[in-house]
Each structure stands twice: as C-alpha cells, then as structure tokens.
C-alpha cells in the first residue's frame, strides 16, 4: 500500500533553515509528480510546491519563491523541501502528497514546523 | 491565481439527511486538454486530507457512493445523499487546472 512518511519538522528561529523529507513506498516513486501542501494552525490547506516525475519542473506558491526548494532523490524514494529564511507565517503542518496528474491521491501524516524565537 | 469560494462555510446536518456544498472558481477550470481538474477532499480532525472526488465527478477508490460530484466551468457541487457520523469534518474543493493549485476555504460539516 502507498505510504508517505514526513520527517524533519521542528521548532526553528526566524531566519533559520529546515529540511523536510518524505519517504515514499508502495508505488513506483519515479513515475509520479509530488507536492508539498501546508496547513497553518486552525486554518485551511495551502499548496506550497510541486516537482514533476522526472524532477525537471518545479512550481512554487509566490510566498515561498526564492526561499523554499523542492527536490527528489528517486534512488532513495524520497521527496525533500529545503526551507530557508523561515518566517513566523511559515508555521504549519507540512504534508507531502502524491500527484495523480490531476489531484492528490495519497497524503502523508504531516510534519509540524514552528517558526518562533 | 484562481480563487476558490465555498458555501456554506459551516453545515450542521442531521444523520441520514442529505448535505450539499458548493464551490465556485474565479475563472473556468476547463484545461486546454479538455479536462476539468476539480477535486473534493475530506479532512477529519487531526488527520490528513483524503481524496473523495476527482475531475468533477469521479469517486476515488473506496469512497462510498453516497458521495457525488457535479458541475462544470466555474460552478461545482459535492452532495452527500445520507450523512453518516464518519462524514463529519472539513470538506475542501481544489483546482489543479493551473499553478498555483488552490483550495477553497473549507466547509465544516457537523452533526446537529
């Protein structure tokens, strides 16, 4: 069965960096695009970033452009989100999600990130 | 960016009764390939979202047939024919026609 397991979340000071990982199993990782979606405490869902199945294309929400980088390592079946220059408004649970080509069909349990001094 | 607007934002329902959620997009969701990439997701408290419906009206694997989606262009609807206790939570519409993919604000369904 498909499993997505995020790790790397935690508490970090404003301006610092954090890298999230998402370990994938149960499907052929290299065939699918992948995404990061976040949810601030008590708020709705916000799409953050996407990477194509072959890593050749990335897309970002405007609020993270230039600060976050999505990447993948198909040899490790792992998705990453490098987050630099973190701000208080980046505080959220970060989910990785598998792309069907038209939506997300599977989600991880989420990694909480708190940006606070 | 495409703005997704859901109504209502809160929906108290009686067990066994129907429920309906509307979603309107700020522009047409018809992709250049002819498909309309509108999905519905459900999130229970403390859980990640799960996919219910994709491309307007296609139920995802394992989703009960009491859930149905309809609509076209900019107006879409999710219907639950008979609400069950496990249906409580927040429902989101989402468009994947163009980046950035965007979600509605969410509709909270609770039992009266």
Q: What is the pLDDT of residues B94-104, one digit of tens each?
A: 999 999 999 99
Residue of B101, B8, B15, B52 whose CA lies nearest to A45: B101
pLDDT of residue A101: 85
Range A94-102 average pLDDT: 94
Whether B68 contacts B15, CB under 8 Å: no
Contact yes or no for A47 and B39 at CB 8 A: no
Phi, psi of A29 (to 5 degrees): -55, -40
* Chain B residue numbers touching A102 (CB-CB < 8 A): 35, 37, 39, 54-55, 96
Cβ A44–B41 below 8 Å, yes or no? no
Of A60, A105, A108, the CB nearest to B51: A105
- Averaged pLDDT for residues A56-72: 98
**Average pLDDT, whole number, for chain B?**
97
The residue of chain B nearest to residue A108, with distances taken between CA atoms, is B48
What's residue A40's pLDDT?
A: 98
Q: How far is CA B75 from CA B2, B4, B25, B61, B69, in A?
A: 13, 10, 7, 24, 11
List, in order, residues 6 or more apart from A19 with CB less than 8 Å away: A8, A80, A81, A82, A83
Interchain contact B105–A (C-beta under 8 A)? yes
Model confidence at B15: pLDDT above 90:
yes
Minimum CA–CA partner of B60 in chain A: A105
Residue A104 to residue B55, Cβ atoms within 8 A: no
Whether the upstream peptide bond of residue B3 has omega within 30° of 0, thus cis, is no
State the pLDDT confidence band at A61, using cuts at 50, 70 and 90. Answer: very high
Q: What's the DSSP call for residue B33?
A: T
pLDDT at residue B74 tops 90? yes
From the number of C-beta atoms within 10 Å of its C-beta (0-12, 13-18, 19+), residue B77 rates as: middle
- Residue B71 pLDDT > 90: yes
Q: How many CB atoms lie under 10 A from the CB of residue A42?
A: 5
Reported as a single tens digit per residue, the pLDDT across B32-60 is 999 999 999 999 999 999 999 999 999 99
Task: For A73-90, write each residue's pLDDT tens digit.
Answer: 999 999 999 999 999 999
pLDDT over 90 at B75, yes or no: yes
8 Å CB contact of A107 and B48: yes
């Amino acid at each position: 069965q498909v499993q997505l397991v995020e790790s790397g979340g935690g508490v970090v000071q404003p301006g610092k960096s954090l890298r999230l990982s998402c370990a994938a199993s149960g499907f052929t990782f290299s065939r699918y695009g992948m995404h990061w979606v976040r949810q601030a405490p008590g708020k709705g869902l916000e799409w953050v970033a996407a990477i194509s199945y072959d890593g050749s294309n990335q897309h970002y929400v405007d609020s993270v452009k230039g600060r976050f980088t999505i990447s993948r390592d198909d040899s490790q079946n792992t998705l990453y989100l490098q987050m630099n220059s973190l701000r208080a408004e980046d505080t959220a649970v970060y989910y990785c999600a598998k792309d069907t080509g038209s939506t997300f069909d599977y989600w991880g349990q989420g990694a909480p990130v708190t940006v606070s001094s | 960016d495409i703005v997704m607007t859901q109504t209502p934002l809160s929906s108290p329902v009686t067990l066994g009764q129907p429920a309906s959620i509307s979603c309107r997009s700020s522009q047409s969701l018809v992709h250049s390939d002819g498909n309309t990439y509108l999905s519905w997701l459900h999130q229970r408290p403390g859980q990640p979202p799960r996919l219910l419906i994709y491309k307007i009206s296609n139920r995802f694997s394992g989703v009960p047939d009491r859930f149905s989606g309809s609509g076209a262009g900019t107006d879409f609807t999710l219907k639950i024919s008979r609400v069950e206790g496990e249906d409580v939570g927040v429902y989101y519409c989402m468009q994947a026609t163009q980046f950035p993919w965007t979600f509605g604000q969410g509709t909270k369904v609770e039992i009266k």
